[in-house]
């Protein structure tokens, strides 16, 4: 158990809908990262937050957004969902400098029908 929790574990929704994925980092970790895992693209970095502020953006679509709250939990919002958004979404956390290790949560499997 990495100490990172994600909810829900599974999510099934329809095209055009909006969903919110939630992540609670390990106790004390200030950084939260979101990754998307699909069969064709592999593990892709989406976005990073550090202590409430956006730190880096990767291959994140404009339909997707995220935020980190004062209690350090994070939410990833996916809107106007398309079939191609079906994937595993992972959250990872790290303590930040100088420790680079990222610890991944169990993921949320999103299925868009």
Q: Considering the complex, what minimum distance in angstroms separates the CB of residue 16 from other proteins?
A: 28
Q: Kindly state whether residue 106 participates in binding other proteins, applying the rule CB under 8 A.
A: yes
Q: Encode burial over 9-19: b for 16+ CB neighbours within 10 A, e otherwise.
A: eebebeeeeeb
- Nearest-10 Cα torsion for 91, 52, 77, 61: -80
Burial of 69 (0-12, 13-18, 19+ CB in 10 A): exposed
DSSP-derived 3-state class of residue 104: strand
Question: What is the spatial distance between Cα 86 and Cα 104, in angstroms, rounded to a whole number?
Answer: 19
Q: What character string, x for contact with other proteins (CB under 8 A) and - otherwise, covers 36-65?
A: ------xxxx--x-x----xx-x-------
Q: Considering the complex, what minimum distance in angstroms separates the CB of residue 56 from other proteins?
A: 4
> Residue 55 or residue 73: which is nearer to other proteins going by CB?
55
Q: Which helix (H) or strand (E) holds 105?
A: none
Q: Considering the complex, what minimum distance in angstroms separates the CB of residue 13 from other proteins?
A: 20
Out of 19, 94, 110, 112, name the contact with other proteins by CB under 8 A: 94
Q: Provide the binding-site residues for other proteins, judged by CB under 8 A.
A: 2, 4, 31, 33, 35, 42-45, 48, 50, 55-56, 58, 90, 94, 96, 100-107
């Amino acid at each position: 158990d990495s100490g990172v929790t994600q909810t829900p574990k599974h999510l099934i929704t329809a095209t055009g809908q909006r969903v919110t994925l939630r992540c609670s980092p390990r106790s004390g970790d200030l950084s939260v990262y979101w990754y998307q895992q699909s069969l064709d693209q592999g593990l892709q970095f989406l976005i990073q937050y550090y202590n409430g502020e956006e730190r880096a953006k990767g291959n994140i679509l404009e339909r997707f957004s995220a935020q980190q709250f004062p209690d350090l939990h994070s939410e990833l919002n996916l809107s106007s969902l398309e079939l191609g958004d079906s994937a595993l979404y992972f959250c990872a956390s790290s303590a930040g400098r100088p420790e680079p290790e990222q610890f991944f949560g169990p993921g949320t499997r999103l299925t868009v029908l």
